[in-house]
A and B are shown apart, each in its own frame.
Chain A
Amino acid sequence: MLVAFSVGRYPVSPSQLWELLWAKATRSPSALPAALETVVFRVRGPRVLSAIVIGAALAAAGSAYQGLFRNPLVSPDILGVSTGAALGATLGIFFSWGVAGIQGLAFTLGLATVALVYAMGTALRRHDPILVLVLAGIVVGTLLGSCISLLKYLADPYNQLPAITFWLLGSFSSITTVDLIAILPGVLVGLIPLWLMRWRMNVMTLSEEEALSLGVDTRRIRLLVIAAATLMTAAAVSVSGVIGWIGLLVPHFARLLVGPDFARLLPAAMLLGAGYLVAVDTLARTIAPLEIPLGVLTAFIGAPFFIWLLAVSRRGWQ
């Protein structure tokens, strides 16, 4: 985090950072140039904090989805919540709505997409439910992807198209404190039920009949967890754009470290997710003169890492 605050086009030394924070806290004037203050509080501050919140949110949602669907390959992306949210955001940009409108539409369509995918998964009971779920997610995701392509085709190429493209690649470059404040309630409201149900979530990873016979009202809990995880994901991607891989990869890594118990898995995944996204975002804005889109970088790092995880993990997705 310290590194993330310090490096960039305007380097800030740790002592300067401390001085700025101290000056802010005591409301006393600082001897440092105003540009540095702007960098730290207006640009880099919200950016680093957003990366923490969004990384934690995506990792938490991924952990919840994987447990709920008893499938370690499920991530918010595979179920189409990100694509649904992306379509919502694209629509919002297309109609030139404000931040709240874009975020609201992203959330609504994200939830609607998961509901649709899940309804398809349960309707086709005759097949392996996990397979149907993943396939339904891919089908719906592809369909929504086509809708996004259509909107890009129809969008104003000078204003809207670049905004949509940037959004789809994922970026923190235009994030402000207002964005951060806007997503916090969604993330927190989503996080609370996940944390409260941490024990029930363990039981939910068993088969449906086992969970029922152990006294868990699976339908109600599933609905609540999906709503919570979708709320977190939609809130996160509505400001940062599509950032893949975190929801899939980080829970695996966390499980490797602390085991599958959700009470330990959730905080571990959130910490790792936050750290990973801050690190990746710092890389994204420093390794090249031109900022690299975040979604591209998470995939470049995530894909080989995931293959490595598969290679070292034993049976049972340790």
Chain B
Amino acid sequence: MRLDVSDLAFGYPGHDVGREVTLALEGGEVLCLLGPNGGGKTTLFKTILRLLAPRHGRVAVDGEPIADWSRGRLARIFGYVPQAQLGVFPFTVAEIALMGRTAHIGPFATPSRGDRAVAEEMLATLGIHHLASRSYTEISGGERQLTLIARALAQEPAILVMDEPTASLDFGNQVRVLTEIERLAGRGIAVMLSTHDPDHAFLCADRVALLHHGRLARVGRPGEVITRESLREVYGVEVTVTEVTRADGRTARVCVPALGERGILPGHPGHPS
């Protein structure tokens, strides 16, 4: 499975949020999208998923443009984990996860026993099986995020798009989700996620794309893209990128920012002067 995004311009009627975005993603690959708040990461994802109409350019899966695909066909290829939102009605966690099976069910059918088994398996994978009968409106933000990931996995997608999947999670659950991402990629799924934490990109990404002012400032291997210079340019902060040895024996890079006068660069919001 190969996803091609070529020369995509995205935004809302009347104004572009970003343009000239060209990306390719293969099955088994993890692409991490980094960029400041308001940089257009969510809008880009929604445009790739055709939740928003592209302003220009095209998205193709295995060379075939998806512009006229049905919603059902899209949902069997693309899984989407939006930023957690509160539902209106108190569905249980199991019911929310089961909704991931919708694209595999006929328009007038209801989920089969097999569908329920898939949804339950995904809950177990993410370690939230004990929440299955709890109401989705009453669990914590992090648990809700995990539920949405389980729902997207229940879609059995070839391409998984995750909008800041670690944003509202505690440290343990962040590690859990990053591990799950690595495992999914190992099963051949193409994963595209956005994050605010460059360390997460170092941990799980094969490639990193840096979205700045609506354009891809850099795309490449994490070590090439996430550097002192690029973080200065995009975030306006002073960072030391260093290497540490992980408990599993592999080395990993981490970013450590400086704080205060030396941390925030002149001309950027929050600079002390």
Contact = CB atoms under 8 A, between A and B. Distances in A.
Co-assembled chains A and B: yes
A215 B103 contact: yes
B88 A214 contact: no
B195 interface: no
B262 to A, nearest CB: 42
Given A72-B88, A205-B89, A316-B138, A263 B74 contact: no
B75 interface: yes
Contacts of A316: 86-90, 135-138
B100 interface: yes
Contact of B89 (A207, A214, A260): A260
Interface in B186-218: none
A70 interface: yes
B71 A212 contact: yes
Interface string A204-216: 0111011011111
Interface hub of A197, A198, A209, A215 (most chain B Cβ within 10 A): A215
A263 B92 contact: no
Contact of B90 (A207, A210, A318): A318
Given A263-B110, A316-B135, A316-B138, A217 B70 contact: yes
Contacts of A64: none
Interface string A231-264: 0000000000000000000000001000111010
A200 B79 CA distance: 17
A214 B90 contact: no
Nearest to A214: B102
B158 interface: no
Contact of A202 (B71, B99, B151, B155): B99
B89 A67 contact: yes
B72 interface: yes
Interface of A is mostly: loop
A41 interface: no
A260 B76 contact: no
Contacts of B72: 215, 217
Contacts of B90: 255, 259-260, 316-318
A310 to B, nearest CB: 15
A205 B108 contact: no
B172 interface: no
Interface in A243-291: 255, 259-261, 263
B91 interface: yes
Interface in B35-57: 46, 49, 51
A210 B136 CA distance: 15
A193 to B, nearest CB: 9
A198 B95 CA distance: 13
Interface residues on B, range: 35 or more
Nearest to B70: A217
A261 B96 CA distance: 10
B111 interface: yes
B137 A196 contact: no
Interface in A66-87: 67, 70-72
A213 B70 CA distance: 11
Contact of B75 (A215, A255, A314): A215
B91 A202 contact: yes
B105 to A, nearest CB: 6
Contacts of A205: 87-89, 91
Given A199-B105, A316-B135, A213 B91 contact: no
Contact of A215 (B102, B109, B136): B102
A9 interface: no
Contacts of A206: 87, 99
B85 interface: yes
Nearest to A196: B108
Contact of A213 (B51, B73, B109, B110): B51
Q: Top 6 A-B pairs ranked by shortest CB distance?
A: A215-B75, A215-B103, A316-B137, A260-B89, A213-B80, A316-B90
Interface of B: 46, 49, 51, 70-76, 78-80, 82, 85-92, 95, 99-100, 102-103, 105, 107-111, 135-138, 151, 155
30 contacts: A70-B88, A72-B89, A196-B107, A197-B108, A199-B105, A199-B109, A202-B91, A202-B99, A205-B88, A206-B87, A206-B99, A209-B51, A210-B80, A210-B82, A213-B49, A213-B51, A213-B74, A215-B155, A216-B71, A216-B102, A217-B71, A260-B90, A261-B91, A314-B138, A315-B137, A316-B87, A316-B88, A316-B90, A316-B138, A317-B88
Given A215-B71, A316-B136, 9 more contacts: A71-B88, A200-B102, A214-B75, A214-B100, A255-B90, A260-B89, A263-B110, A316-B86, A317-B90
